[in-house]
């Protein structure tokens, strides 16, 4: 199993550009999440999904959109990139049947907006 994969690993965007961060998991997890981590800080939840077709906002959703058409994929869309979106983005997944709902994280995407 590859676990949670994210592409790209790094990206530089100009202000106002758009892009999609890709996330896929092969563990058949029903829950998926997007977090951002700003320098020197913990992770903050952007969006989450409890299954295909169902998404909801987390703590910091402004400037982002998500979709979940399959169990495996959970892309994050940035529209009109701003310098405040410079961050490291982590995708994670978990299984609702586990006791702890332990989240498995992808390797992250480092995004710079200039």
Partner 1 sequence: AQKITQTQPGMFVQEKEAVTLDCTYDTSDQSYGLFWYKQPSSGEMIFLIYQGSYDEQNATEGRYSLNFQKARKSANLVISASQLGDSAMYFCAMREKSGGGADGLTFGKGTHLIIQP
Query: Where on the chain is the footprint of partner 1 (CB under 8 A)?
Result: 31, 33, 35, 40-45, 48, 50, 58-59, 88, 90, 92, 94, 96, 99-105, 107-108, 110
Q: How far is it, in rounded angstroms, from Cα 105 to Cα 54?
A: 20
Q: Are strands 109-113 and 10-13 parallel, antiparallel or unpaired?
A: parallel
User: How far, CA to CA in Å, does 22 sit from each of 40, 41, 96, 98, 99?
Assistant: 24, 23, 22, 25, 28
CB of 10 to partner 1, least distance (A): 11
- CB of 82 or CB of 105, closer to partner 1: 105
3-state secondary structure at position 79: coil
Cβ(70)–Cβ(9) below 8 Å: no
* Nearer Cβ to partner 1 (15/34): 34
Residue 28 CB, nearest approach to partner 1 (Å) = 16
For partner 1, the closer CB: 2 or 99:
99
> Alpha-carbon distance 90 to 111, whole Å?
11
Minimum distance between the CB of residue 99 and partner 1, rounded to whole angstroms?
A: 7
Shortest distance in whole angstroms from residue 16 CB to partner 1? 27
Choose between 14 and 39: whose C-beta lies nearer to partner 1: 39
């Amino acid at each position: 199993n590859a676990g949670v994969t994210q592409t790209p690993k790094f990206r530089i965007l100009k202000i106002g550009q758009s892009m999609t961060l890709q996330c896929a998991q092969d563990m058949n997890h029903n829950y998926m999440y997007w977090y951002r981590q700003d320098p020197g800080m913990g992770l903050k939840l952007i969006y989450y999904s409890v299954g295909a077709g169902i998404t909801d906002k987390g703590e910091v959703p402004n400037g982002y959109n998500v979709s979940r058409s399959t169990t495996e994929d959970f892309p994050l869309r940035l529209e009109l990139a701003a310098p405040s979106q410079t961050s490291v983005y982590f995708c994670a997944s978990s299984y609702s049947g586990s006791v702890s709902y332990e989240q498995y994280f992808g390797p992250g995407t480092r995004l710079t907006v200039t």
